[in-house]
Structure 1
Amino acid sequence: MWRTLKSMTPGRRNKIAAARARVRRHVWAQLPGGIPASKVAGTDLADVIVLDIDATIVIAHSEKENAAATFKRSFGYRPIGVWCDNTSEFLAAKLRAGNAGSNTTVDHIEVLTEAIAQVPGTHRKKLLIRSDGAGSSHGLLDWLTEQGTVRGRSVEYSVGFAITGKLRDVIDLVPKKIWTPALDADGGVREGGDVAELTGLIDPKVLAKWPAGMRVIVRRECPHPGAQLSLFEERDGWRYEAFVTNTTAGQLAFLEARHRAHARVEDRIRHAKDSGLGRFPSREFNINQTWLMITQIAADLTAWTRLLGCIGDAATLATCEPKALRYRFLHVPARLAHSARRRRLKIPESWPWAAAIVAVFGNIAAIPQPA
């Protein structure tokens, strides 16, 4: 295994990425009911494929190649990845040193290009790219706007935006009657939260430096106990968060709730760390890059098992996180027996999830082979 990891080159990793894309195309074609819709504020986004991009810190407990000090005063790597919110798949990632910049445009464009290539062609017509404030760079927003001009493709973005001094001055200009109630995750009114659009109040000369059609939306809410507020926020007691989007339709509250759903990527990162991303095994950077690719494959296999296998009588396993799924299903104390030229997997009848495991195997066995 170690020799295999060490022998991997960028060219071989590209071939594996192409193979993953082919398998993904076959898997998506077999999904009962089609691709799951991304849920936002109690409704779904229909056939829109949502890609969430974010970076995380992986601590290294020993000297490793390209490991460096992080902004959180730890030591290790800072990989950046893209997850599909519809299916929980880990589409693409790039391993970076711990001191890599948060808003490095080149890194964002590279992983997003790889992630879009992983999405089957028939599902690239409507894309939504979500990011936190690290994605609010001129280069990335210009690139996303350009991607939306590709024939037959619609690319929308929802990206966090830094609240600078000039933006604070604009917030002061918002009339009280303009603020509208925000929505919670279930579509109800979010108590203590309001949203407003700032686009029309911003200096046109400043707005002209950003892509055409970009809208600036801000949310204010009552801070929770213990929250650290800026001097601007302490003045009126509200906590502010801003984001930008090129979506023209939809209520402000819905667009804000759609952007806030980007927080689900934190669960995807946590699940990936439970499946191999939490530790890099080698001192060599090339091997750790390959390890990151294997982590993506593991996340995909877990997602595909849920989507294709954990249905019907096996639906009880569909909501399991990696640790629970590993205990209930993957690590079951089963026995493989050979009899009458057939192989039989014997699962203990006392195992609480025995019936669900049998149903999963039946669902997987019914998947047709690729043509």
Structure 2
Amino acid sequence: MQVSHTPAAVSASFDEPNLVSAAGLLPVMRLAQGIGLRDLVDERLSVPTDKGANPGLKVSSLVAGMLAGADSIDDLALLRQSAMSKLFEAVYAPSTLGSFLRAFTFGHVRQLDAVASRLLAGLAGRVPLLQRRDAEEEFVFVDVDDTIVEVHGYQKQGSGYGYSGVRGLNALLATASTAASAPVVVAQRLRKGAAGSARGAHRLLAEALATLARTGTAGPVLVRADSAFYGHAPLAAAVRAGARVSVTVRMDAAVKRAITTIADDAWESIEYPDAVYDEDTGAWISKAEVAEIDFTAFTSRKRSEQVAGRLVVRRIPDLNAPAHGQGTLFETWRHHAFFTTVPAATMGTVAADKTHRAHAVIEQVNADLKDSALAHLPSGKFTANAAWLVAATIAYNLSRAAGVLAGGRFAKARTDTIRTRLVNVPARIATSARKIRLRLPENWPWQEAWEQLFTTIHDPPAAA
């Protein structure tokens, strides 16, 4: 591709009053309006009126900006360009939204958490977000993980060096997904950068499972997490809520003793369709062996607090074993184990191993958020950034719903793909007889999906 005109034949001017750069915000924000975003915020958020007048409209503006790709307060100015005010009311200046965020206290953030939970329930009632072929047998997976959002400078309240060695703030997330659907965020919490991964995880898990129940999603639930969350408090919170667990264990003395009792003929070969990267050795592993043994977790605690289940162990040859110039009498193995309360009759050893490793899907959510609103935490005030995180997860869930309604490959597409192909679509506004018509680009490659999204939200089928 090359430019078809000489420089002298081309000019530019910013003077068209009827253009919008993100026409896809219209159906998505109508969806948000339909499930009560503004009303829920107005009802539950009690930010002081001198900074928080019309909180529902202001939170809606934050979410709309994030849907269009804003990752800082200044970026929210994109909502005020050209003809956006013809499509949306109360389009606030970035400075106004920044003052609104800085008025948040921890209590206000928790109020916004409650709004996010109820919004997801409303979305699930409108959009099939967590689809399953067999609701009685197939698991809904609740995955828990934390991530460090990097910050720069020392003005950010609560920032510090966490497990990654990067200065930032720690975002703890819980997502829900199924084998047939992409994850949605069911709970979130911003913490100090130096916070341990498991800090407050039991409370977040309880809230996540309560939110999942609020969506009306029936059937078995499996909570998955890595070894940072292997502790009595998180597992007990999941078990109390009626969920099964599948959590990587630390190789402590009790686990090592259990592994040594596994019979040699109990190991079963497993081959991976796609090689698995081993971070410890830097090698790609295409096959391994798995076995399991009955195991009771937290035996140092009183009997009522112990959790019975299975220890599923995967072993691979230790490529870092010292070489002695001759063959070894016994093969040297490296072991990876996880603890699960799923009965063997429900999920065999190989299936349990495959299902557990799939909990890495939450890493895709972390990446999606950091590729949009969580690219930055925009304020020096901790509670403002905590509110920003909640708004970012609301925007993420709305993107997921938009992808499902658009259908096809968008149902599981990354939110960046949904944003660039369905939301940030340029359009010119034409007005006639008090009606507005959006004139979108001819030959837009994703026209069919956009029209399906628009039609489904603006002209839903009549109830039977």
CA deviations on 1:152-211 (whole Å, 9 max, x unpaired) are xxx10111101124433443332221011336479xxx95222111336x8996698662
Structure 2 gaps, min length 5: 1-96, 275-284
TM-score using structure 1 length: 0.82
Q: Which moved more, 1:72-81 or 1:11-20?
A: 11-20
1:157 partnered with 2:252? no
Q: Which SS does the other structure have where 1:343 is aligned? A: strand
**CA displacement at 1:47 relative to structure 2:** 4.8
Aligned-partner Cα distance in 1 for 2:237–2:212: 18
Q: Which SS does the other structure have where 1:71 is aligned? A: coil
**One-letter code aligned to 1:305:** A
Question: Contact 2:135–2:219 (CA<8 Å) still a contact in 1?
Answer: no
**One-letter code aligned to 1:78:** N
Partner of 1:300: 397
Question: Contact 2:168–2:193 (CA<8 Å) still a contact in 1?
Answer: yes
Question: Contact 2:317–2:331 (CA<8 Å) still a contact in 1?
Answer: no
Task: Give the aligned length.
Answer: 344
Q: Which SS does the other structure have where 1:199 is aligned? A: strand
Q: Highest relative contact order (Cα 8 Å, sep 6+), 1 or 2?
A: 2
**CA displacement at 1:259 relative to structure 2:** 0.8
1:52 partnered with 2:134? no
Partner of 1:151: none
Question: Contact 2:117–2:187 (CA<8 Å) still a contact in 1?
Answer: no
Aligned mate of 2:166, from 74, 82, 85: 74
Identity of aligned residues (%): 26
Partner of 2:384: 287
Partner of 1:28: 124
Aligned mate of 1:181, from 260, 265, 269: 269
**One-letter code aligned to 2:238:** L
Aligned mate of 2:364, from 263, 267, 279: 267
**One-letter code aligned to 2:226:** D
1:242 partnered with 2:337? yes
Q: Which SS does the other structure have where 2:315 is aligned? A: strand
Question: Contact 1:24–1:120 (CA<8 Å) still a contact in 2?
Answer: no
1:323 partnered with 2:419? no
Aligned mate of 2:444, from 351, 362, 366: 351
Partner of 2:288: 193
**One-letter code aligned to 2:98:** W
1:216 partnered with 2:307? no
Q: Which SS does the other structure have where 1:119 is aligned? A: helix
**CA displacement at 1:91 relative to structure 2:** 1.6
1:334 partnered with 2:433? no
Aligned-partner Cα distance in 2 for 1:347–1:367: 21
Partner of 2:7: none
Q: Which SS does the other structure have where 2:165 is aligned? A: coil
CA deviations on 1:9-40 (whole Å, 9 max, x unpaired) are 344334433333333333323335x73139xx
**One-letter code aligned to 2:124:** W
Aligned-partner Cα distance in 2 for 1:10–1:349: 48
Aligned-partner Cα distance in 1 for 2:163–2:123: 39
Question: Contact 2:135–2:218 (CA<8 Å) still a contact in 1?
Answer: no
CA deviations on 1:87-111 (whole Å, 9 max, x unpaired) are 421121111112111333xx10121
**CA displacement at 1:49 relative to structure 2:** 2.2
Partner of 1:94: 189
CA deviations on 1:297-330 (whole Å, 9 max, x unpaired) are 11111111112x212xxx2433432222222222
Question: Contact 1:197–1:252 (CA<8 Å) still a contact in 2?
Answer: yes
**One-letter code aligned to 2:452:** A
**One-letter code aligned to 1:71:** Y
Structure 1 pair 117/367, CA: closer, same or farther in 2 (3 Å)?
A: farther
Question: Contact 2:271–2:287 (CA<8 Å) still a contact in 1?
Answer: no
Question: Contact 2:297–2:306 (CA<8 Å) still a contact in 1?
Answer: no
Q: Which SS does the other structure have where 2:144 is aligned? A: strand
Question: Contact 2:312–2:338 (CA<8 Å) still a contact in 1?
Answer: yes
Aligned-partner Cα distance in 2 for 1:110–1:25: 19
Structure 1 pair 163/290, CA: closer, same or farther in 2 (3 Å)?
A: same
Structure 1 pair 205/10, CA: closer, same or farther in 2 (3 Å)?
A: closer
1:137 partnered with 2:231? yes
**One-letter code aligned to 2:447:** A
Q: Which SS does the other structure have where 1:254 is aligned? A: helix
Question: Contact 1:302–1:322 (CA<8 Å) still a contact in 2?
Answer: yes
CA deviations on 1:202-247 (whole Å, 9 max, x unpaired) are 8996698662322211111346xxx76799xx98443321111111
Structure 1 pair 51/310, CA: closer, same or farther in 2 (3 Å)?
A: same
Structure 1 pair 197/319, CA: closer, same or farther in 2 (3 Å)?
A: closer
CA deviations on 1:118-171 (whole Å, 9 max, x unpaired) are 2243326532111100111122223333333xxxxxx10111101124433443
Structure 1 pair 323/166, CA: closer, same or farther in 2 (3 Å)?
A: same
Q: Which SS does the other structure have where 2:183 is aligned? A: coil
Aligned-partner Cα distance in 2 for 1:229–1:77: 38
Structure 1 pair 230/272, CA: closer, same or farther in 2 (3 Å)?
A: farther
Structure 1 pair 324/125, CA: closer, same or farther in 2 (3 Å)?
A: closer
Aligned-partner Cα distance in 2 for 1:258–1:109: 22
Aligned-partner Cα distance in 2 for 1:294–1:245: 33
**One-letter code aligned to 1:182:** I
Aligned-partner Cα distance in 2 for 1:230–1:265: 36
Structure 1 pair 132/345, CA: closer, same or farther in 2 (3 Å)?
A: same
